[in-house]
Structure 1
Amino acid sequence: MASTKKEVANEILPFIRLYKDGSVERLIGAPYVPPSLDDPETGVSSKDMTISHNDPNISARIFLPKQTQPSQKLPILVYFHGGAFCIGSAFDVIDHRYMSSLSSQVPALVVSVEYRLAPEHLLPAAYEDSWAALQWVASHSVKDDQSLLDGKESWILDHGDFDRVFLGGDSAGANIVHNMVMKAGVEGLNCGVKILGAFMNQPYFWGSQIIGNESSETHYKTAPYLVWSLFYPSAPFGIDNPMVNPMGPYGPSLAELGCSRLLICVAGKDELRDRAVKYHELVKESGWRGELEDVYQVEGEDHAFHLIDLDCEKAKNLIKRLAAFLTK
């Protein structure tokens, strides 16, 4: 009797398994949760929006905190979730709770972007979707021509403060933040919108050169290497492509970062920590004219600890630090 067991072509543990028949098995993930009005825990309302109906279809979940003044203008946070470019969603229960909490504590209007995932959509699809979403948000700042406002999102139009636009993300999402800020610094955003600040929480960077405590024996076998090699096989310069290795030999000057303030957060036991710290050092040395906050390090914790346990004290303190950055 022929075996029905499928053959594995590749896998990136603990995230995903790819089979030779082309099927994909996501090994971890959180369930979908619908948007809601007046969340009982935070008071934040949320709804889902389609940004682009065309190919690709891009969407987002928008979070609006409870307000004391109906006409109050709020900071706008455009957020990119993590998940190694292959798992995670703006619509899952983890990111929904995370964004609801952050939205309520700032308070801020949050646009959490749902970008296409690998391996069904190889990179640079996630970057392209994220840039389109960011430009869509910026397009809401048009005020003089009513015809340009047709089809726009009312929460952004009514409550967004375009003098306080921020980007934020975790892990792969923080990598997206870096690339969006670099692209904005060169190309600019719709309607002349400027990015006031950006936070990169435990950002995903990697490269061919060993940095800090990284192991030379497993450097090319780790998830950070496999993610890039499998999900962006056409990337020029491979693992030293500046989108994943902005500290490498092919990267443009970090002085081109297109924001005015920057915060880097790391976890003490994270294998990505030393690269994030090095990135911080290079920004400081680059001549970038923005305000660089001190690295915020959470000792004794591993990568994505705050998403694994949203209710632990250190996760709550991290959200407070992010909220403080967004309100400074």
Structure 2
Amino acid sequence: MASADTEEKVAVVTVAEIPTYIKVLSDGTVERPRQAPLVPPSNPDPQTKVSSKDVIISHNPTISARLYLPELEGQHHKVPILVYFHGGGFFFESAFSQLYHHHFNTFVSLTNCIVVSVEYRLAPEHPLPACYHDCWDALSWVASQSSNNAEPWLIHGDFNRIFIGGDSAGGNIVHNVAMRGGSEALPCGVKLVGAIFSHPYFCSSYPIGSESGTGHEQSLPYVVWNFVYPSAPGGIDNPMVNPLAPGAPSLDKLGCSKIIVCVAGIDKLRDRGVWYYEAVNKSGWQGELELFEETAEDHVYHIFHPQSEKAIKLIKRLALFLHH
């Protein structure tokens, strides 16, 4: 009988991957080559004067967030609260990454709002729908602070102006949280005012617009969904990713009173964003609906380059959405 020293080592092989994005190995290791480095919060950021800190929302499951507070000196009124869900295909990126930290330092300084950037659980270790539950729980936690004041930074927030927002996969989460908000009450009677969809991720078995042609089932949006939610009832036509699927609840149930859908002209998800905007417009939903397009930009340009001219134009548009 061979001893432990002489036993052959079991070869580690790739069991699943989306090339250049994620690789899952047979020993349980998950590699995320596009993940931006994580950075600590800043108190305050020397350039924008925005302060940030990390908070625990739940230990079981593990949900946390990075809070961003604008410079309050000289302010005598409370500011809107934006609960934000980061992008990254549900399987990478972080509320604590350098990418989102730089973005929100700029965003908060220009919008004068409090941001609660949610660190939800990622696939494949936690397949969907885990992230939807985490993000709803984070929004509920924020709403609960309106009465118990456990988080002192949120005392500066206006609980009559709570918004949700997200980019890419985070925009998909915005849809699913807003739909839940249409049928389920938040704590303390808090109402969700508005939702920001930045380059939202949706898909379906039938291609639309620029998706048309061969290879739709091999496209990144299609592949990502099957990777992050392999057991999804209906597959790519699950209502969580295809809001117009047969049997999907009507979009007139969206639980907020104003929506802005932001798209970028050369983004491969651009046509899906417009498709979603038009579907909400036709649904009978009773709120205020806007579409913002930046024609010559690509996917989440404002996250990658938050101080660019086009990004600042978008952020200033979102500031109007949050304050009016």
TM-score (norm 2): 0.93
SS of 1:79 mapped into structure 2: strand
Change (3 A) 1:315 1:70: closer
**In 1, are the aligned partners of 2:192 and 2:256 still within 8 Å (CA)?**
yes
**In 2, are the aligned partners of 1:240 and 1:250 still within 8 Å (CA)?**
no
Change (3 A) 1:297 1:236: same
**In 2, are the aligned partners of 1:206 and 1:275 still within 8 Å (CA)?**
yes
Select which of 49, 53, 68 maps to 1:47.
53
**In 2, are the aligned partners of 1:8 and 1:18 still within 8 Å (CA)?**
yes
**How far off is 1:275 after superposition?**
1.3
**How far off is 1:320 after superposition?**
1.8
**How far off is 1:5 after superposition?**
7.5
- The separation in 1 between residues aligned to 2:98 and 2:260, in whole angstroms, is 25
Query: Hey, what does 2:190 align to over in structure 1?
Result: 193
Query: Hey, what does 1:124 align to over in structure 2?
Result: 129
SS of 2:104 mapped into structure 1: helix
**How far off is 1:251 after superposition?**
1.4
Query: Hey, what does 1:90 align to over in structure 2?
Result: 95
Aligned letter for 1:102? F
- Mapping of 1:1-328 within 5 angstroms? 6-53=12-59, 55-69=60-74, 72-142=77-147, 148-149=148-149, 152-156=150-154, 158-293=155-290, 295-328=291-324
SS of 1:72 mapped into structure 2: coil
**In 1, are the aligned partners of 2:111 and 2:315 still within 8 Å (CA)?**
no
Spell out, residue by residue over 1:180-225, the C-alpha distance to the aligned partner (whole angstroms, 9 max, x if none). 1100111121111111111100000001011112033121111111
- The separation in 1 between residues aligned to 2:19 and 2:297, in whole angstroms, is 19
- The separation in 2 between residues aligned to 1:301 and 1:106, in whole angstroms, is 21
SS of 2:182 mapped into structure 1: helix
**In 1, are the aligned partners of 2:236 and 2:242 still within 8 Å (CA)?**
yes
Aligned letter for 1:271? K
Aligned letter for 2:116? V
Query: Hey, what does 2:4 align to over in structure 1?
Result: none
- The separation in 2 between residues aligned to 1:99 and 1:309, in whole angstroms, is 11
Spell out, residue by residue over 1:22-65, the C-alpha distance to the aligned partner (whole angstroms, 9 max, x if none). 32110102111111112111111111100112x21110000110
Identity %: 54
SS of 1:187 mapped into structure 2: coil
**In 1, are the aligned partners of 2:55 and 2:66 still within 8 Å (CA)?**
yes
- The separation in 1 between residues aligned to 2:42 and 2:321, in whole angstroms, is 27
Provide structure 1 residue ranges, at least 5 long, that are not aligned to the other structure: 143-147
- The separation in 2 between residues aligned to 1:308 and 1:12, in whole angstroms, is 21
Which shows bigger deviation, 78-87 or 93-102? 93-102
SS of 1:63 mapped into structure 2: strand
- The separation in 2 between residues aligned to 1:320 and 1:70, in whole angstroms, is 19
**In 1, are the aligned partners of 2:106 and 2:306 still within 8 Å (CA)?**
no
Query: Hey, what does 2:3 align to over in structure 1?
Result: none
User: Aligned-residue CA RMSD in angstroms?
Assistant: 1.7
**How far off is 1:9 after superposition?**
2.4
- The separation in 1 between residues aligned to 2:109 and 2:304, in whole angstroms, is 20
Aligned letter for 1:228? W
SS of 2:217 mapped into structure 1: coil
Which shows bigger deviation, 228-237 or 198-207? 228-237
Aligned letter for 1:319? I
Query: Hey, what does 1:145 align to over in structure 2?
Result: none
**How far off is 1:13 after superposition?**
3.6
Provide structure 2 residue ranges, at least 5 long, that are not aligned to the other structure: 1-7
**In 1, are the aligned partners of 2:226 and 2:235 still within 8 Å (CA)?**
yes
SS of 1:17 mapped into structure 2: strand
- The separation in 2 between residues aligned to 1:215 and 1:23, in whole angstroms, is 36
- The separation in 2 between residues aligned to 1:250 and 1:23, in whole angstroms, is 38
**In 2, are the aligned partners of 1:30 and 1:93 still within 8 Å (CA)?**
yes
Spell out, residue by residue over 1:57-100, the C-alpha distance to the aligned partner (whole angstroms, 9 max, x if none). 11000011011346531100000100001111111111011112
Aligned letter for 1:302? D
- The separation in 2 between residues aligned to 1:214 and 1:153, in whole angstroms, is 45
Which shows bigger deviation, 41-50 or 68-77? 68-77
- The separation in 1 between residues aligned to 2:163 and 2:231, in whole angstroms, is 30
**In 2, are the aligned partners of 1:207 and 1:244 still within 8 Å (CA)?**
yes
Which shows bigger deviation, 28-37 or 61-70? 61-70
Which shows bigger deviation, 279-288 or 69-78? 69-78
Aligned letter for 1:61? R
Change (3 A) 1:312 1:105: closer
